Amino acid sequence: MSEQPDKRFAVLIDADNVSDKYIKLIMDEILNDGIITYKRIYGDWTKPALSSWKNILLEYSITPMQQYSYTVGKNSTDSALIIDAMDILYSGNVDGFCIVSSDSDFTKLASRLRESGMYVIGMGEKKTPKPFLAACSRFKYLEILSATEQSFVGSDDLTVEKIKNAIGNILDEVSDEEGFATLSQVGNILSKRFSSFDVRHFGHNKLTSFITSMGTFEIKAVSSSGPKNIKVVYIRKKVS
């Protein structure tokens, strides 16, 4: 049985309502569900308050979308994000959206995207109004994601310990009731989070042998019931 192709997501970020400290968390979380086709962030980049975003945008290849504040008290950033979202929807190039904001103004947008069959993930802080939460297919609080994040944030200078921590986090996020996830899924997410990851850097030819050498995880192979008798490899944290 072949695996389902990754869902394609558009990640649209409201810079006025999100701190740059959350960006890696946001990207990692979406990569658990699929691949990111669009990465755009909206704001008035002439404002000094958004200057801290510059290096982050370069590091994660996020496209800044300039929107001037023409009228005092009116948030033109919201309008620009909404217009872009609808353009992307009609392009047919994505399967879902991630709207990153704590602003209730995106409630109607989330509902409209879901009416068109899109899977909508919302991300924001705990101050986010309930109507926006309810309009999304799933909503994730950035404070909770931050609290569970390990210390490997922001670097591709990989060590065995860093990879071990990352695998543990991935299993916490995607495993079933017994703690198992397929090794292929874990490996796929791992390679998305760390673009330079290669088991050969650690003296191994296969991901299975590399993970086994850590002594932290349990690996098992299960034969499928189909005529080809394909083996599926599963992984979970060792049960003490």
Q: Which residues of 77-114 are buried (b: 16+ CB within 10 A; e: fewer)?
A: bbebbbebbeebbeeeebbbbbbbbbbebbbebbebbb
Q: Return the half-sphere exposure (C-beta side, CA atoms, 13 A cut-off) of residue 210.
A: 19
Q: Return the half-sphere exposure (C-beta side, CA atoms, 13 A cut-off) of residue 188.
A: 16
Average pLDDT of the segment spanning 84-92:
96
CA distance to 78, 139, 167, 184, 201, per residue, from 207 (Å):
44, 32, 12, 9, 11
Average pLDDT score over the chain = 86
pLDDT confidence band for 77 (50 / 70 / 90)? low
Identify the residue with better confidence: 2 or 168: 168
Identify the residue with better confidence: 202 or 73: 202
pLDDT confidence band for 119 (50 / 70 / 90)? very high
Give me the count of residues in the chain. 240
- Residue-wise pLDDT for 176-217, tens only, equals 999 999 999 999 888 878 766 778 778 888 899 999 999 999
Q: For the chain, what is the largest distance between any 2 Cα atoms, rounded to a whole number of angstroms?
A: 67
Q: Which residues contact 18 (CB under 8 A, 6 or more apart)?
A: 100, 101, 102, 124, 142
Domains, the chain, ordered by start = 7-147 (3.40.50.1010), 152-237 (3.30.420.610)
- Residue-wise pLDDT for 9-42, tens only, equals 999 999 988 889 999 889 988 988 889 999 999 9
Per-residue confidence (pLDDT) for residue 201, from 0 to 100: 77
pLDDT confidence band for 95 (50 / 70 / 90)? very high
Q: Which residues contact 171 (CB under 8 A, 6 or more apart)?
A: 179, 181, 186, 217, 235, 236, 237
Alpha helices by DSSP H, listed for 4-49, are: 23-31
pLDDT confidence band for 1 (50 / 70 / 90)? very low
Pick from 6, 4, 2, 3: which is nearest to 34 by CA? 6
User: Per-residue pLDDT for 81 more than 90?
Assistant: yes
Q: Within 10 Å of residue 195's Cβ, how many Cβ atoms?
A: 7
Helices 76-91 and 107-115: crossing angle, nearest 10°? 10
Among 25-34, 95-104, 105-114, 156-165, the range scoring the smallest mean pLDDT is: 156-165
Q: How far apart (Å, rounded) are the C-alpha atoms in residues 240 and 231?
A: 26
Percent of the chain with pLDDT over 90: 50
pLDDT confidence band for 154 (50 / 70 / 90)? very low
pLDDT confidence band for 92 (50 / 70 / 90)? very high
- Residue-wise pLDDT for 125-148, tens only, equals 989 999 999 899 888 889 888 876
Give strand pairing partners of 121: 98, 138
The pair of structure tokens assigned to 95 is 């399967």
98, 121 Cβ separation under 8 angstroms: yes
Helices 23-31 and 183-193: crossing angle, nearest 10°? 150
